[in-house]
Chains A and B, each alone.
Chain A
Amino acid sequence: MTLTTADQVPPADPLPATRAALASHGRTGFMQEKLPRLVTSLAAFVPMAALLAIVGVLAWKALPALGYNGIGFLWHTAWRPGNAYANPVRTGGVLHPVGASYGALPLVAGTLESSVIAVAVAVPVSVGAALLVVEKLPRRLSSTVGLFLEVLAGIPSVVFGLWGALTFGPFIARDVAPFVAGHMPDVPVLNFFRGNVGYGEGLLTSGLVLAVMIIPIVAATARDLLRQVPRLPKEGALALGMSDWEVARKVSLPWARAGIIGASVLGLARALGETMAVAMVSGAVLGTVPTNLYLPMSTIAATIVSQLDGAFTDGTGYAVRTLAEFALLLAVITLLTNIAARVLVRRVAGTALPIGRGV
C-alpha cells in the first residue's frame, strides 16, 4: 500500500500476531523447529537412559556374586556373611570371606507374602470405600472422604513405620493374633494362621501396614473409575429390578474392572518395593522363611537398607555385590508383576467396552 496524501494514515494491522505466525509457518529455522525437537528428544531419552544405567550398574556390580552364589541363590535360605577376621579366599575368581553364603528364599518369600497380604486387604477395602463414596454418600461427605485419602497418600512411609512399630504391631500381637491363631483349625493352608503369635513385628503387621499405605492409591483410582461409569446402564439395571448391590456387581464394577486391576497392580508394585515402613515393623529376621503369619521376617527392600552399612565393612566387596544381586532380583520381580498385570488386564477386558464407539 502506498500513501498518496499526508493525511492518509495506513490502517493499523488488526492481527499482527497471526500475520507473524503465518509468515513464519513453513520456515525451518533452528529456533522454531530443531531446538524444540532436540530438547523433547533428550527429555524422552532421559527415563530410558536412567533405567538402562541403573540396571546396568547393578548388573555390573552383582555379576561376580551372581557367579559365586549361582542359581541355588534362589532357593537357599542361608544368611552368612562369613568370617571377617580370616583371610578372604577366592572361589572361581571371586574374592569372598571364608564361609560366606547367601540365599534369597526367605527374602523373596517375605516380599511376596507381605505384598500379597497388603493387596488382599487393600483392594476389597478400597473398592468398597470407592463404591460407597460414588454411589451412596452425599457429595459433601464424599469430598471429605476424598480429602482423607489424599492426606493418607501423602504421609511419609517412615511415619507409617513408626505407627506400626509403636501402636499397630503391639495391638495385633495382643488383641488380634491370639484370637485368630486360637480359632483356626489345624489343617493345611489354614495352619499358617496358627502357632506362636510373636510380639507384633512380623509378616502380618508388615502386610497390614503396607495395606494401609496402598489403600489411598487403589481407592482414589477406583473412585475416579467408578465415577466414569455412565448413568444409563446403571439405570437400566435398576429398572430391571436389580438391587444397588447387584447394579454395582453386574454393571459398575465390570465397567471399571480393567482399571481397578491396573490400580491394584500399582499398589502391589508399591508394596513390593516399600522399604522403610517394612524395615521398621518386619522384625528384620534373616535366613528363615516365616512358618506362620505372625513371625518376624524381612523383605528384599528392607534388608538392602538395613544391611548396606554392614555390607560395606566386608573388605572383599562380596556382601555389597550380593545386595546388588538382591536389588536386581527385586527389579525382576517387579517387572514380572507388571507383565503379568498387563496380560491379566488384557484378558479381563475381554468384554469390550463401548470406548470410542457410537451407540
Chain B
Amino acid sequence: MSLSSPAARSVDSPVVVDRGDGVAMRARGLSLGFGSTAVLADLDLDIHRGTITALIGPTGSGKTTFLRSLNRMNDKVAKHWHRGDVLLDGSNIYSPGVQLMALRRRVGMLFQRPNPFPMSIAENVLAGVKAHGIAGKQHYRAIVEARLREVGLWEAVSSRLGSSPFNLSGGQQQLLCLARALATGPEVLLLDEPTSSLDPITTEHVEALLRSLAPALTIVIVTHNLAQARRVSNRTAFFYQGRLVELTDTTKLFESPEHPETANYVSGRMG
C-alpha cells in the first residue's frame, strides 16, 4: 500500500494484496487467561481476508477476549498470559520482536461505545495519522475529508471540524471513531459490539458501511445481536465457554449448524 498519499485510498481500491492463502489472521492453539483463570482454551481459527467474520456466543464465552488478542489489547490487563500463536500475514504477532504500535496500525479497533479523544473533530480523525507519521501536513485536510466522507459524516460536520466531538450524537461519535480507525489504513478492523449503544437507523448505516468496506478490509465483529451477525457477516464463529464450537459460512451456521450447542444458541434455546 502506498504510504505517500493515503487520502487517495478509497473503498473501491483494495489496500492489501492477497498473498495467496486467503487468510488474513490465524490463531493456532491459542490459550489465554488472566492469573489462574483461563478464558480461551486451545483455539484454532482462520480469519479470511476481505471478509466479515462475526464472533457470537453467550456472555463470558471469550469472544471479546479473543478479539482483543488479535491486536494484543489484553497485554495490559493484570496477570495476562497466553500460549500458542496468532498470525497476521503468516507471522506471529506475539513474537518478541513485534512492535505493538506497528501491529495496531495494521489491526485497527472500534469499541463498544464511542470514545473520541479530547481534541477537535479533525484532530480526532488525524490522531493515528500523526502518531504514525503517515502523511505530511499538506495531506491533512484531504485525509480528514476523505475519511469523513467514507463514513458518511462529512456533510454533518464539515462546518465544525475544529469543534469538540463531544457535542455530536452518539452515532456520529461512533462514525467519527470509525473514520479515525480507517485513517491509519488498517488491514484488519476489529469491532467490539460497535452498534450496541446506537439507534437502529445508525446501526443500519454502520452495517451497510461495513459491507462496503469488506472487500478492501478484513473485518472481525463481536456481536450479541444474532440478526446483525446474519445481516453483515460472511462467516460466523460460535464461542462457548472459551472454546470455538463452530466456524463456518454464516448461512450454514444459522440454518444447519453442525453442533447441537450452536443450534441451541442460534435458535434462542440457550442464551
Contact = CB atoms under 8 A, between A and B. Distances in A.
A309 B128 CA distance: 64
A241 B166 contact: no
Most buried by A among B73, B109, B173: B109
A242 B129 CA distance: 10
A250 B127 contact: yes
Given A241-B105, A242-B101, A236 B131 contact: no
A358 B168 CA distance: 10
Contacts of B132: 241
Nearest to B180: A240
Contact of B131 (A240, A354, A358): A240
B118 A235 contact: no
Contacts of B119: 250, 254, 351
Contact of A241 (B114, B164, B184): B184
A143 interface: no
A134 interface: no
Interface residues of A, number: 26
Contacts of A38: none
Nearest to A350: B164
Interface centre among B73, B117, B127 (most CB of A within 10 A): B117
A42 interface: no
Given A238-B73, A359-B173, A351 B164 contact: yes
B167 A359 contact: no
B71 interface: yes
Nearest to B170: A359
B227 interface: no
A257 B117 CA distance: 13
Interface in A247-280: 250-251, 254-255, 257
A359 B105 CA distance: 26
B35 to A, nearest CB: 14
B131 A359 contact: no
A187 interface: no
Interface string A336-359: 000000000000001111100111
B189 to A, nearest CB: 11
Contacts of A238: 73, 76, 104
A94 to B, nearest CB: 56
Given A239-B71, A240-B128, A352 B105 contact: no
Interface of A: 230, 232-233, 235-243, 246, 250-251, 254-255, 257, 350-354, 357-359
22 contacts: A230-B115, A233-B115, A233-B118, A238-B73, A238-B104, A239-B71, A239-B73, A239-B108, A239-B181, A240-B104, A240-B128, A240-B181, A241-B100, A241-B132, A241-B184, A250-B131, A251-B118, A350-B164, A352-B166, A352-B167, A353-B166, A357-B166
